[in-house]
Amino acid sequence: MTEQMMDAPYRPHGLTNGEQGVLGQPLPRIEGAAKVTGQATYAYEGTPAGIAYAGIVGAPRGSGTIERIDASAAEALPGVIAVIHGDPRMPAGEANSRAMPSFASDTVFHYGQPVAIVVAENQAVAREAAALVVVEMTPGQDRFDPRAEPIDTAPKIGFLPPIAKGDLDAALAEAAVVFDQTYTTPIHFPAAMEPHASTAWWEDDKLIVRSSNQVIGAARGTIAQALGIDKDKVRVLAPYVGGGFGGKTGVGPEVILAAIAAEKIGRPVKVALPRRQTAYLVHHRSDTVQHIKIGCDENGIISAFAHLSVAAQHDDGEFLEPVPFGTLPLYRGAVRHFKTDLVRVDLPATGAVRAPGEAVGTFAVECAMDELAEQLGLDPIELRKRNEPDTDPLSGKPFSTRRMIDCYDDGATRFGWNPQPPASVREGEWLIGTGMAAALRGNFTVNAEAIVRLEADGRAIVETDMTDIGTGTYTILAQTVAEMLGLPIADVEVRIGDTDLPPSAGSGGSFGAGSACSAAVLACEDILTELARRINASPDELRLKDGCVRVAGRETALADLVRGEPIVARAKSGPGAESKRTSQASHGAQFCEVAVNAVTGEVRVRRMIGVYDVGRVLNRKTAANQLIGGMVWGIAYALSEDGIVDTRTGHFVNPDFGEYHVAVNADVPQIEVHFIEEVDTSANPAGAKGVGELGISGAGAAVANAIYNATGVRVRDFPVTLDKLL
Ligand code: MOS
């Protein structure tokens, strides 16, 4: 097996001498037809024989101790097979998602925490019976307000340690201009189109789970650990996943409960969470309070930047929203203070939701930059350009590739950037405004393996345990292999979504595409080397196109070179010295025009343009789709998304789409996405940086800044609902 741990900038042979030009093309999703014709089977589909259905019983109070569970009424309901609770194997919190059932403990961390599971002959009976289970609890601390005191200023959780470089107070005291404001963002739900669902069955001592999950390799380990069985005894299947947004990065309690129930009744069991239950059993993005302090000179050159926040988590949770993550390398300033404090609450787990840190952190920072530009009398793009760092302002490392200035310039040209004074443009009763914001998302490459087989018929198969959560994984893997081996896209078969395949990155942190395609690139390089050997050439000399290899005017069909046995290569890609030597991120600039009704305060987003630097673009359609999706979410969290807690009980007031308002078609205007493409040879062998989480970064701030420009009203508490504008 070839291993390439990015120890030097890397440019693969196949991507330089491939003549296909298929990589990067805006091809439609290769599995699209299967999806729209209903042939793609999701976690709740593909029902094994003898299936039973489960419903999950949630704790009726947000904190306290379980005293008694009375399942007699549920057990008496016709069609109920079993009611299970108090399984002693359930360790509390042993998961990469904290939304785990802890039946062994009588402590309740949040409202709706799973305390029992009902198994029945059909879903309706399972859910009805679950509602009949009586759970008696004694009250606990009932800390339900994420904006409450006390605040832990030295939390022991989270992956981003506090950063305090230089003397902030002294720098601010010396600065000619000081900016100081506080912004807040509410709870956001990672509400995927496909609610969380799992089907579990046992084949002897082996557990097979069909689950809606983003990172099945990690899920396999988590499931094995939770059940106390060997990892080899668990197989996770996720051929199709209907969205994730971070909410499916870990293992939800429904997976473990389905497995326990299936073992107990000796039949396959499936469970789908009702929409309202996903709000409790799946983590959410924390509420945040963000304090921004900036010191700069009269020209706007920043000397000190502080991004100091508070986020919430329950007592058993170890994730802490890394609020300033995107701010770290964004602007100049020798003095840099970044931290996130903690409020402990008795609410469902907070966790990684699309662009953890950046999504809400950029709201505060990019609104602050807009406000500071006005304070200085500068164009907001000019202020940002003056503060564009030459090297990573925290670590001093060189950037791998950073085309932020080009994103500003190209975006400004395409948008027709020509900002007018606040509240100065009016069309009838509509106030018109424009706004912009920077986008930044750290780039990560993680370990990924792939096997590529060149078959005797000249077709290729690529195998890796990646998932496609709607992002285009099937298609970009096919394009990568087609490009490398000079094959038509239809001659590449992609096998993913099965933990029996080589361990890969999974879909998370925007690292999936770059990492998995890099493993495929390296495996293809080994195949090129073997092909070159068979025709006595060097890999550099090969020209591959239409299933043929050409060397010095001689053309041979790949099928003729394979000779019976397939050529099989397995490769592993991962971060190495180059990932440490350079500072890596994806960048972008967001532009937005809004109309605000002067009478009602209604906001209509009229147009948005985003220009992005994501390294090599693997597929201009699926990459643009990802970015558009992020921008749509930006509209939604700027204007409507607002998870509201009833601070008396710890339950969510609006845990469904009826009252938690995501952006719908009528809210979303024409959105344009453009790329500044520069292959990043330091990022990974594919040269691709992360895409998925970049589009949401800065998007909400661009909307909020446009609203300010339209109305002259600065709202610092998201979402910007109309009552705040009147
Ligand atoms: Mo992402 S929040 O790692 O799916």
Taking the C-alpha atoms of residue 618 and residue 639, their distance in angstroms, rounded to an integer, is 32
Segment 48-73 shows an average pLDDT of 94
State the average pLDDT for the chain. Answer: 94
Ligand 1 atom with least separation from CA of 246? 4
Give the tens place of pLDDT for each residue, 279-310. Answer: 999 999 999 999 999 999 999 999 999 999 99
- The complex's ipTM works out to 0.97
Contacts of 720 (CB under 8 A, 6+ apart): 603, 638, 639, 703, 704, 707
Contact 43, 638 (CB under 8 A): no
Which tokens in the block code for residue 726? 């009147």
Ligand 1 centroid – CA 247 distance (Å): 7
Question: Does the annotation count 693 as an active-site position?
Answer: yes
pLDDT score at 19: 67
Question: What are the Cα distances from residue 598, in Å, to 488, 602, 604, 709?
Answer: 55, 8, 12, 13
Burial 93-121 (b: 16+ CB within 10 A, else e): bebbbbbbbbbebbbbbbbbbbbbbbbbe
Taking the C-alpha atoms of residue 304 and residue 174, their distance in angstroms, rounded to an integer, is 10
Ligand 1 proximity of 643 Cβ (cutoff 6 Å):
no
Q: Is 373 helix (H, G, I), strand (E, B) or coil?
A: helix
Alpha carbons within 13 A on the beta-carbon side of 469:
30
Domain boundaries, the chain: 2-41+445-576, 354-441+581-724
Of 191 and 708, the structure prediction assigns the larger pLDDT to 708
When the candidates are 3.40.190.80, 2.40.420.20, 3.30.365.10, 3.40.50.10470, the CATH number that belongs to 2-41+445-576 is: 3.30.365.10
pLDDT score at 480: 97
Which tokens in the block code for residue 601? 């305060």
Give the tens place of pLDDT for each residue, 173-224. Answer: 999 999 999 999 999 999 899 999 999 999 999 999 999 999 999 999 999 9
Task: Give Rg (Cα) of the chain.
Answer: 26
Ligand 1 proximity of 508 Cβ (cutoff 6 Å):
yes
Taking the C-alpha atoms of residue 587 and residue 575, their distance in angstroms, rounded to an integer, is 20
Angle at CA of residue 447, ends 444 and 453, nearest 5° = 125
pLDDT score at 104: 61
Give the tens place of pLDDT for each residue, 508-561. Answer: 999 999 999 999 999 999 999 999 999 999 998 999 999 999 998 899 999 999
**CATH number of the domain at 354-441+581-724, please?**
3.30.365.10
Q: Could you tell me the pTM of the whole model? A: 0.96
pLDDT score at 15: 84
Ligand 1 atom with least separation from CA of 352? 2
Give the tens place of pLDDT for each residue, 100-114. Answer: 445 667 888 999 999
Ligand 1 proximity of 214 Cβ (cutoff 6 Å):
yes
Ligand 1 centroid – CA 638 distance (Å): 20
Alpha carbons within 13 A on the beta-carbon side of 370:
32
Q: Would you place residue 4 in the very low, low, confident or very high pLDDT band (cuts 50, 70, 90)?
A: confident
Ligand 1 proximity of 352 Cβ (cutoff 6 Å):
yes
Specify burial of residue 489 (Cβ count, 10 A radius: 0-12, 13-18, 19+): middle
**Which helix (H) or strand (E) segment is 521 a member of?**
helix 512-534
**Start-to-end C-alpha separation, the chain:** 64
Taking the C-alpha atoms of residue 635 and residue 706, their distance in angstroms, rounded to an integer, is 11
- Fold match flag (2-41+445-576 vs 354-441+581-724): yes
How many Cβ atoms are within 10 Å of 624's Cβ, its own excluded? Answer: 21
Among 354, 444, 626, the mutation site with the greatest number of ligand 1 atoms within 8 A of its Cβ is 354
Which parts of 104-145 are beta strand (E)? 107-108, 114-120, 134-139
Of 404 and 445, the structure prediction assigns the larger pLDDT to 404
Q: Residue 356: name the closest of 306, 253, 284, 282 by CA.
A: 284
Ligand 1 proximity of 630 Cβ (cutoff 6 Å):
no
Q: Residue 631: name the closest of 585, 695, 726, 694 by CA.
A: 695
Q: Residue 708: name the closest of 455, 441, 369, 404 by CA.
A: 369
Contacts of 542 (CB under 8 A, 6+ apart): 13, 17, 528, 531, 532, 549, 550, 551
Q: How many residues does the chain have?
A: 726
Q: Is the pLDDT of residue 344 over 80?
A: yes
Ligand 1 atom with least separation from CA of 245? 4
**H helices of 417-508, where?**
473-485
